[in-house]
Amino acid sequence: MDKQKENKKITTIPELAKMINRSFQSNQEYMDKRFYEFGGKLDEFGGKLGKAEKVLKEEIKGVGKKLDDFIGDYNSEKLPMRVEYIENVLNLPKR
């Protein structure tokens, strides 16, 4: 039993403080590394999201133009026929 007591090293308060400080420092370095990696991934995702947004805006513009063209064509082609039909139904004189 006396040999065990002799083999144990007595840790002083300053040594204990240094050990705790090293532990906190290594944990801080680990967390800094993880946040740096996460920030890089977040930047990469933001870039991809920006590209997707640009593509979607272009697609929406294209759909809007197609819709405008369709409505314009439909109105110019069908309007005289529709007016004539309404005039006939209401028994109005033709202009």
**What separation in angstroms does the CA of 77 have from each of 82, 89, 95?**
10, 20, 18
* pTM recorded for the entire structure: 0.42
> Between these two residues, 19 and 83, which has the higher pLDDT value?
19
Interval 49-71 mean pLDDT: 87
How high is the pLDDT of residue 44?
92
pLDDT digits (tens, 9 = 90+) for 14-48: 999 999 999 999 999 999 999 999 999 999 999 99
How high is the pLDDT of residue 30?
94
Would the pLDDT of 4 be above 70?
A: no
Tell me the two tokens of residue 90: 């209401």
